[in-house]
Structure formats: C-alpha cells, structure tokens
Amino acid sequence: MQTRKLGTLEVSALGLGCMGMSALYGPPADRQEMIKLIRAAHERGVTLFDTAESYGPFTNEALVGEALAPIRDRVVIATKFGFDIDLATGERRGGTNSRPEHIKAVADACLKRLRTDRIDIFYQHRVDPDVPIEDVAHAVGELIAAGKVRHFGLSEAGVQTIRRAHAVQPMTAVQSEYSLFWRGPEKELLPTLEELGIGFVPFSPLGAGFLTGRIDENTKFDPTDFRNNVPRFSPEARKANAGLVDLVKTIAARKSTTPARIALAWLLAQKPWIVPIPGTTKLHRLEENLGAADLLLTKADLDEIAKGLSGIEIMGERLPEAALKMTDR
C-alpha cells in the first residue's frame, strides 16, 4: 500500500471507515467478524482507522480498540468529539457540545475505549455554534501538550472556521464528504486546505454505496439504515442519478475493473494529500476498495469523467435537513 501525508502525518493512501460496522447502515455486524476485518485491513497495508464516540454511541470505538490493540504502535487511530452525549450512559441529548471541559472528558473516555494512551487524530465531529472555535482549538492543544492527542482535525467545517482554528492549533486533517456523488469541497475547501498544508479525509467516498453500481431505484434498505431518510437516496433520486453510475461503469468496463475502484481512484487523483476512508463489513469489498490504490487513471480517463460530469445534474440533498443544519457553512 502506498502512503500519503496528512499534514506531517504519514498514513496509507486509503484508510478504513469503521462506522458502518456498528451503526447507521442497519443492524451492527458480528463483532468478532469485524475484528477480523479490521485486522485484515492492516495486513493489506491500511494504517488509518476512523471511528467516533457517537458511532453506537461508544460501541464502535470499543470495537476498533479491541481490534487494533495488538498492533497499536503500527496504526493511526482517528476519533471524534463534539456531540452532546452523556458519558456515563451513552444517551444522546441532541445537538453539539464542544465546551473545553467536555472535550477533555470525552478524550479520557475515548482513550479507555480505544485501549490506548493517545489519540492520533482528534476531530471535532461538528462545529458547535455555541463555543468559539478558538476555545475548541485551545482545548485540543492542551490535550496535545499533555500527550493524550497527537493531531487536531475538524469535520464538516467551513473555510473561515478552519482558518480560525488553524491559527490557534495547527491542524493535520479536515474530514468532509467528497466523491463523484458530492463535489461540494472543490470550490472553496480544497484550495484552502492546499494553502494551509492540511490533509483531506473524504468520508462516503463511494457515495454511501451508490457509486458501487449495486444500488438502483428498486433497492430496499434495512429500516434502520440512515439512507432511508436521505433525499438523494429516494427511489426517484436514485433513478434520476443513474447516469452518474453509468458513466463510472463505462470507464470501469474499459479498464477491466469495478465502479468502486474507479470512484476511489478518481478521488486519489485529485490531490496527493487526499486519503479516502471507504467503509465495508465484507472482506471481498475491502479487497476491492484497496485495489483502487494501484489503479492509475490517465489524463484521458480523468478528462472523460470530467466531460461526463459536466452533463449530469445530481438530484437530491446529500443529507436530511436536520443534519444539513449541523454542517458549518
């Protein structure tokens, strides 16, 4: 597996998003099977593993911690704070909470669940409108000084917030959604990160599965799957957006590969400091995704994709309205 730099932090070119093993894409997967999958990812060269206190809550961090404990010094663990979750019970109280004292309490709880003495990347999961970002950055800076955290990051943050935070505590990475299915970061976010020397970690790099080509207007999701509430995943939107999948399938067929690999290789081709974190619960999908790191898209391939994208208008918002309101504009 090739490596890339997020700021000064070296990681595998593709990471593993672990959220779906425990939450949001339906019932949690078998714990022991997921431990095997996480370790299999490392055996295949993955060094960046992404989780969060809110995935479960708490259960995903505990899973990742157990899986990586034997190889802790050979991996990079990223987790997140920022939602208002009772640290004793796991009860979601709604909204955000990035008060400095809460951040520090979350860090201590995360360290226990992750079975480690340091968090490699500590992201603010969502910007808290009630807490100045400078206070958040300062609190994480204190955790870095204490040795509990190595690197600071933000998730779904706007460019002015990023600049303000970075001025107080230099950041290593920003995480936001980015894929052929959602290209919002291209206008302002990517140029800002390049200017500041901050790495970018796209989540949902396969468009929450849509870019794999295995989802169409007739696909039925588990009742607990978050995609049931996403406008972009309504049957009408899936039908309307099929042209994007057709474009990816066409290029995949010509290159004798899969749509998922094309979608991930396209992301890797955008900037050398982009590290996508596709998630899966299946070994063969993990191997399929990791194959994208060795797939070279030529200038002709990228030009063909760009030309095809110019004629496609994506239907539907990428998140439910309530979730969109929590993203920092």
Q: Which amino acids are annotated catalytic?
A: 55
From the list 184, 301, 185, the residue with the least C-alpha distance to 247 is 301
Rounded to an integer, what distance in angstroms lies between the CA atom of residue 56 and that of residue 63?
10
Exposed/middle/buried for residue 261 (C-beta within 10 Å: 0-12, 13-18, 19+): buried
Q: Please give the angle made by the CA atoms of 206, 210 and 215, to the nearest 5 degrees.
A: 145
- Residues 179, 210 contacting (CB under 8 angstroms): no
From the list 125, 85, 82, the residue with the least C-alpha distance to 103 is 82
From the list 194, 198, 187, 201, the residue with the least C-alpha distance to 155 is 201
Helix 242-254 and helix 299-310: axis angle, to 10°?
A: 160
Exposed/middle/buried for residue 55 (C-beta within 10 Å: 0-12, 13-18, 19+): buried
